[in-house]
Amino acid sequence: MTNIIRDIVWPIASGMGITLKRLKERKVTVFYPEEKRPTFPRTRWRHVLTRYDNGLERCIGCSLCAGACPAKCIYIDSAENTDEERYSPGERYAVRYEINMLRCIFCGYCQDACPTGAIVLRDDFELSDYNREDFLYTKEMLLEPMPISFGK
Amino acid sequence: MPRRIETIAYHDSATPPIGDIQHGGGVLMGAIDDLVREARVGSLWPLTFGLACCAIEMMSTVAAKFDISRFGMEAFRATPRQADVMIVAGRVSKKMGPVLRQIYDQMPEPKWVISMGACASSGGVYNNYAIIQGVDQIVPVDVYVPGCPPSPDALLYGLIKLQTKIRGKRLGGLIELTPRTLEQADDQHH
């Protein structure tokens, strides 16, 4: 009889005791699709091509980010700005700015290399998709929308 | 399946007796269809196929903070015979390729593949002779999850995308006819 208590009842009771003790502790689970955990200021996820306050693009098409990229996932085609068609305040602008998101390792070297702070990595991590072709992010997808003050 | 029962209850002569044709055939088969699909979505058992650092993030997806068991996926299986979804986490070398393909072939139908991280999806920074440039060269990939490595919430987002994909798929719709095949079938018909 004492053997039953010592070998069976007591181990189960002490084990359940630990479970009961843990029940009143703080819950750590983040209920992801409903709530997101707070991101840190230097989180590196989806790229954004930023604009100046007057709506002009910051990117000057210098290809320094493409040179700094260890995965070689950035392609840039640049052209000269004219007075009629002005995209950026400098001499040149990027006609095509493409990032292969599947190649990208989100290291942030492009952000460090950029002389005008045009490309920044923000905190949008929901990038999964079904087709390989959809991961070639073009300039239109990367450019941030026009500032609200623009056109007033 | 309350939705289906409703179809019977409000049946009139304007509704075809076999039920909702646009949404997958008859009333009974539709109910079974929904049931099987929900069972598949709610109990996706992943196969442990961790190859590199992405596997660490895959493990922390299972841990308490992100808790993959909220989606019914906590049963990671070491044998392909009991797994539904293969999460390829990490770079696949040329020598690992045949192993990956064999393990994929050993999984029972229906099966899905998630390509997790830059290396599995495209080779990432390892653009060299030793690494397969994208795991979709050897197995069909359903969802790509970019990132290096993807954080657990990014992987969870990919898994939710996979669940959405399975929900949209009907029973018996496993063979997808491409437009070209349809044209050929049309030619034979005339």
pLDDT band at B159 (very low <50, low <70, confident <90, very high): very high
pLDDT band at B12 (very low <50, low <70, confident <90, very high): very low
Report the amino acid identity of residue B156. L
Residues 6+ away with beta carbon under 8 Å from B15: B7
pLDDT per position as a tens digit, A114-139: 999 999 999 888 899 898 888 999 99
Q: How far apart are alpha carbons B71 and B159 in whole angstroms?
A: 9
Of B66, B118, B165, the CB nearest to A30: B66
pLDDT per position as a tens digit, B59-114: 999 998 998 999 988 888 889 999 999 999 989 999 999 999 999 999 988 889 99
Question: Phi then psi for B115, rounded to 5 degrees?
Answer: -95, 110
**Interface probe with A: pick from B54, B67, B112, B155, most Cβ of A within 10 Å:** B67
Q: Do B157 and A32 touch (CB under 8 A)?
A: yes
pLDDT per position as a tens digit, A73-101: 999 999 999 888 888 888 999 999 999 99
Question: Phi then psi for A18, rounded to 5 degrees?
Answer: -65, -45
* Chain B interface includes A149 (CB < 8 A): no
Bridge pairing between strands A119-121 and A47-49 = antiparallel
Is A49 within 8 Å of A80 (Cβ atoms)?
A: no
ipTM over 0.90: no
Question: Over the Cα atoms of chain A, what is R_g?
Answer: 26
Sort out which chain B residues have CB atoms less than 8 A from A32's CB and list them.
66, 153, 156-157
pTM of the predicted model as reported, rounded to 2 decimal places: 0.79
